[in-house]
Amino acid sequence: MFSIKILFLCILVPIVYGLTRKELVDFADKQYHKLINTLKTGVQYPAVGKTGSDHWETTPPVDNQWTAGFYPGVLWHLYNYTKSDEWKQLATTATDAMYNDQFNTWQHDIGFMIMGSYGNGYEFTKNPNYPKIIVNAANHFAKRFNHNVGCTKSWDTPNPNEFLVIVDNMMNLELLFEGWKHSGNKTLYDMAVSHTNVTIREHLRKDYSHFQIPNCDPFLMSKAKNTANVGDDDFMAPEAMTNEYNHLIDIYSLSLIGAQIFGFDKNDIIDGKYE
């Protein structure tokens, strides 16, 4: 899990001096105590630190760019190694404040955010409330999957012919696999494997180094019969990108256009709030 890398970063220097695991965890424990004293847990999540300064730029728990899950992730790992109630309490608070991230569809790094927080939380406590949040987050992340491309989209861009998939997105696939494990929904598993297959094909060079951002064309790779390659995929029903759809995709698009005209939040329609 990615958050353990951050834990390793905190303890990289002492590793050089050959400390035992206990000494390393004690060091991380000490450093994180310094950090939590400068933050409001559940409100401020450290994002960017500067060498030689003890000031951290922070982000809020919900709707931030991508880093929020690392903080609860490290807290959960500290809890796992120390079994201290203090870390468990802090990790729980930092995790629970990220509840609304399960509904996030506007970015792909939701895997980092949910697996760092709820994923680690479930691994170390088996909290029975966490799996349905993981599954729900996976289903929201799955809305970024395009059947023609075979991948989840990384960044949204205004150009409908652009479908950016950065290699980093592989790190988010764990959310789909965990969503599958907790729900038995094989679609989530297939999406993760398909994304991996396309990544092998599109990102890897012959010498196994890789590109970061190939641009896949969602229409060029289509096997489906589209009326014409026009429109904006932000307004398309997901079925429109598969071989099976009917007139309901037009009603879907019409309601998104209506949302735009009448000032509703398009995401509320996509999430089915107005069913």
**Residue with smaller CB distance to ligand NAG, 3 or 59:** 3
Is-contact 66 107, C-beta < 8 A? yes
**Residue with smaller CB distance to ligand NAG, 81 or 112:** 81
Of 109, 190, 233, 271, which is the active-site residue?
Answer: 109
Residues binding ligand NAG (CB under 6 A): 77, 80-81, 139, 142, 185, 187-188, 190, 193-194, 197
Chain position whose Cβ is nearest to ligand NAG: 142
Q: Please state the closest distance from residue 271 (CB atom) to ligand NAG, in A.
A: 12
Q: Please state the closest distance from residue 135 (CB atom) to ligand NAG, in A.
A: 8
Q: What span, in angstroms and rounded, lies between the C-alpha atoms of 44 and 39?
A: 6
- Tell me how far apart the terminal alpha carbons of the chain are, to the nearest angstrom: 37
Q: Please state the closest distance from residue 74 (CB atom) to ligand NAG, in A.
A: 11
Closest Cα partner for 153 from 96, 100, 207, 217? Answer: 217
Of 26, 29, 156, 168, which is the active-site residue?
Answer: 168
168 is catalytic: yes
Q: What span, in angstroms and rounded, lies between the C-alpha atoms of 102 and 115?
A: 11
Is-contact 106 65, C-beta < 8 A? no
**Residue with smaller CB distance to ligand NAG, 197 or 229:** 197
Q: Please state the closest distance from residue 18 (CB atom) to ligand NAG, in A.
A: 20
156 is catalytic: no
Amino acid, res. 242: T
Q: What span, in angstroms and rounded, lies between the C-alpha atoms of 58 and 68?
A: 9
**Residue with smaller CB distance to ligand NAG, 185 or 255:** 185
Q: What span, in angstroms and rounded, lies between the C-alpha atoms of 38 and 33?
A: 9
Q: Which residues are catalytic?
A: 109, 168
